[in-house]
Structure 1
Amino acid sequence: MFFNSDTAPDAPFAIAFVGNDGTGKSTMSKAVQKRLAPDSRVRRVDKWDVLRDDIYPEYAFMGDDLPQLRRCTSNMQETTRTLFLFWTLHGTLKPEVVEGADFILLDGYWPKHAASEMRYSGQSGLVREAVKLMPQANLTFYLDLDPAESWRRRTADPDIPLVPYECGLDPSLSEAAFMEHQTAVRNQLVEWSDSYGWHRIDAARTQDEICQQVLEIVDQAVGKKMHVAV
């Protein structure tokens, strides 16, 4: 599977939003989706979309209870969880979903999970091999935020309760456990951001400021090929 490139000029242009828990990845991907040019065909993809049997009927056996699935994921044994998470990530990008789109917005994508699984399982080789299976996004925006602010945002969200996976697999869900894990993940993401040339965004800024910055970068990258409303 290829995203837009010189060898696949008609393939969709993929934009990934990555970062720690609570940095606003879903919020920003939704905001950008609304502000891209109205004549663009935009599809937003999240790993948990596999629970939508109208789009992914092959995964209907999993049911549709996302809160339960998030809790169960925390309890999986290490290797199983790594394989499961990358299975869902890869499974959402089936050709029927991405074909025909101008833009694919990847909500979260693989980096947070790769960083977490490298920390949890210690099997960096397995994680790196799984990452190789994931198509490379054309642009990656790393939403960087102090873990203390991430904690404030996550605990203020009544719709998506914290799970042990966000807290170093600590069932206490304590602030200390969250901070320790998220700091370690953040350090890894900063390293990857520098290595892979991601666009590092200060996620403490307002939603409008971040969205405008993202759209300007997207426009610079694809403006000559497709219109972007900036």
Structure 2
Amino acid sequence: MLINITGGDGVGKTTQTILLGAWIEEAFGCPVRFATKGEVLDPVRYPEGRMFGCSYSELAEDIVTSMQGFSRSLFLFYLSAAQICRYPPKSGEVVLLDGYWVKNLGTEAALGIDARWLEGVGMAYPEPDVTLLLDMPPERVLPRQLAYKPYECGFAEVVNDHTFLENQRRVREALQPMAKRNGWPIIDADQDIERLQADLRRVLFPEIEARLGLREPAR
């Protein structure tokens, strides 16, 4: 089973995905695997990872910054493709995707790449059984005091609250219509970690139960 948790930068995708993984393993007794783009750099699990020769932070903060146009988009989409091509979901396994190619549709559309073209590329990927959009106004992300990366700020010359807000508004404008068009649940991420996790579990419980034929044990 493929579950994608997507959304803009700073909305809590990674934190919530980790919490969901622990819950699914305990509640349903099935194996859970996390798929993050950075794992493709591991030459042990991904032989092609030898071509990178850098850390994921170097790739994300320096090398990607020098990439241009749709070639950058294709490279970022490749990171998701490599995961699914080499390690497709096994029977009875839940694979949790941290953003998947959908996240990069939002970020690349914010940088001026045609969203329709990006979505067309994404059609070649396996469709997740469930995609959830964690949504919140970028202004509400600021109190979290993130260490912004250039990509999150649209490659602006100055990386600060203003450039982060401008870029993340464009990301949100790309992701919200896509979620509505595809019928993905849009979850209010502007709440504390525990309440957000509870909302995600309420949505995912029947989906996991229906697809895996498992039932959460009584507590």
1:42–1:101 contact (8 Å) kept in structure 2: no
Give the drift of 1:53: 2.3
SS in 1 for 2:111: helix
Q: Which runs of 5+ in 1 are unaligned?
A: 1-12
Structure 2 CA distance for partners of 1:66 and 1:222, relative to 1, 3 Å? closer
SS in 2 for 1:36: helix
2:125 is aligned with 1:134: yes
- Paired with 1:130 and 1:165, the residues of 2 have a C-alpha distance of 21
For residue 147 of structure 1, the aligned residue among 125, 131, 138 is: 138
1:115–1:185 contact (8 Å) kept in structure 2: yes
**Partner of residue 205, structure 1:** 191
**Partner of residue 6, structure 1:** none
Give the drift of 1:193: 1.5
Q: Which runs of 5+ in 2 are unaligned?
A: none
Give the drift of 1:64: 4.4
- Paired with 1:32 and 1:85, the residues of 2 have a C-alpha distance of 25
Structure 2 CA distance for partners of 1:33 and 1:179, relative to 1, 3 Å? same
Task: Specify the code of the residue in structure 2 equivalent to 1:55.
Answer: R
Aligned 1:160-179 pairs, distance under 5 A: 161-179=147-165
- Paired with 1:198 and 1:211, the residues of 2 have a C-alpha distance of 17
| Residues matched between the structures, number | 213
Quote the sequence identity (%): 25
SS in 2 for 1:18: strand
**Partner of residue 13, structure 2:** 25
For residue 180 of structure 2, the aligned residue among 164, 179, 194 is: 194
- Paired with 1:45 and 1:96, the residues of 2 have a C-alpha distance of 9
Structure 2 CA distance for partners of 1:59 and 1:228, relative to 1, 3 Å? farther
Give the drift of 1:125: 4.6
RMSD: 2.0
1:50–1:56 contact (8 Å) kept in structure 2: yes
- Paired with 2:46 and 2:168, the residues of 1 have a C-alpha distance of 31
Task: Specify the code of the residue in structure 2 equivalent to 1:170.
Answer: A
Structure 2 CA distance for partners of 1:123 and 1:98, relative to 1, 3 Å? same
**Partner of residue 44, structure 2:** 54
Aligned 1:18-97 pairs, distance under 5 A: 18-38=6-26, 39-71=29-61, 72-96=63-87
Task: Specify the code of the residue in structure 2 equivalent to 1:31.
Answer: L
- Paired with 2:77 and 2:176, the residues of 1 have a C-alpha distance of 21
- Paired with 2:100 and 2:125, the residues of 1 have a C-alpha distance of 9
Report the TM-score, using the length of structure 2 for normalisation: 0.88
1:74–1:163 contact (8 Å) kept in structure 2: no
Task: Specify the code of the residue in structure 2 equivalent to 1:165.
Answer: Y
Report the TM-score, using the length of structure 1 for normalisation: 0.84
- Paired with 2:208 and 2:115, the residues of 1 have a C-alpha distance of 34
Task: Specify the code of the residue in structure 2 equivalent to 1:221.
Answer: E
- Paired with 1:35 and 1:125, the residues of 2 have a C-alpha distance of 36
Between 1:49-58 and 1:178-187, the stretch displaced more is: 49-58
- Paired with 1:229 and 1:110, the residues of 2 have a C-alpha distance of 34
SS in 2 for 1:17: strand
Aligned 1:101-116 pairs, distance under 5 A: 101-116=92-107
